[in-house]
Chain A
């Protein structure tokens, strides 16, 4: 069977209905254990003091803010190339989650920055690209609301998603590109260099896994809702015409 058949709306509703509770329970478990471990059972940092505890919410939310846009980029490309409706509905479903993750990253970053940098905000490359990403999320959602024809809305939002991907990438790599500003480099990285001490890294990774699972669960629920909304719209249109 082709992989695309899993994205057939009827089939999608079947397998996602079984998976959503699994992802939701695992997400709740990972986030709870990760946060409790990090908040109650890790020491203060010798430079940052107790503010290091903000890392367990700031880093996972910032990572998901960028990766949510990455997921939207892939599903938007699938729409533009294959015209697969569930794909673009998944992108639409992910946008509010990415928006909230970006907002959490901005708020917790500002709260963390005030005692560490002496300022809530600075026009640093990382912070500025994150603010632009936040505005792109708002624009993406506004564009969906502004256009009545769903296929036209899907086309235009997909193009906007391609453009916004530049800022999603910049949000991740701005510190490396410009090598300036107050924000430090990535806390989590696939290279072998240690960026965060193991004592903080282990609960951080667990919380990050929880945020990924939460994102998947919410995207699946919201995509199912979008599919139902389309079906409802079709039925109501048919009723009115009868």
Chain B
């Protein structure tokens, strides 16, 4: 581990905030993509069934 000296709190909080925001962005993107794919597949299946 590098010695961050008196700036440890600043460096770690900057990295923490960035990682948190990126994880939320990636999770939200993946989650909405998955939900939409499932909903569209179901709608396409209904359409094929009903003609």
The answer to whether A224 touches B33 (Cβ under 8 A) is yes
Say yes or no: B17 contacts A108, CB within 8 Å.
yes
Would you call A112 and B14 a contact (CB within 8 A)? yes
**In the complex, chain B residues whose CB is within 8 Å of the CB of A53:** 2, 4, 11, 15
Nearest residue in A to B19 (C-beta to C-beta)? A57
Main secondary structure of the interface of A (DSSP, over half): helix
Contact A114 B18 (CB under 8 A): no
Number of interface residues of B (CB under 8 A): 34
Please name the residue on chain A nearest to B24 by beta carbon.
Answer: A100
B4's partner among A50, A58, A218, A231 (CB-CB below 8 A) is: A50
CA of A50 to CA of B8, assembled, Å: 8
Proximity bits, A199-219, B CB within 8 Å = 1, else 0: 000000000000000100010
Q: Are A49 and B5 in contact (CB under 8 A)?
A: yes
CB <8 Å contact, B10 and A112: yes
CB distance from B38 to the nearest CB of A (A): 10
Q: Are B33 and A100 in contact (CB under 8 A)?
A: no
> Total number of A-B contacts with CB less than 8 angstroms?
94
Q: Would you give the shortest CB distance from A160 to chain B, in whole angstroms? A: 22
Contact A232 B36 (CB under 8 A): yes
| CB–CB A225/B36 < 8 A | yes
Given contacts A228-B40, A239-B46, contact A100 B21 (CB under 8 A): yes
A236 within 8 Å of B (CB atoms): yes
Chain B residues near A231 (CB-CB < 8 A): 40
* A100 touching B6 in the complex, CB below 8 Å, given contacts A54-B14, A235-B44: no
13 more A-B residue pairs beyond the given contacts A51-B10, A221-B30, A231-B40, with a C-beta to C-beta distance below 8 A: A40-B2, A49-B6, A54-B14, A57-B18, A97-B25, A100-B24, A107-B14, A115-B7, A222-B33, A229-B36, A232-B43, A235-B44, A238-B47
By a beta-carbon cutoff of 8 Å, the part of chain A in contact with chain B is 39-40, 44, 49-51, 53-54, 57-58, 61, 96-97, 100, 103-104, 107-108, 111-112, 114-115, 214, 218, 221-222, 224-225, 228-229, 231-232, 235-236, 238-239, 242
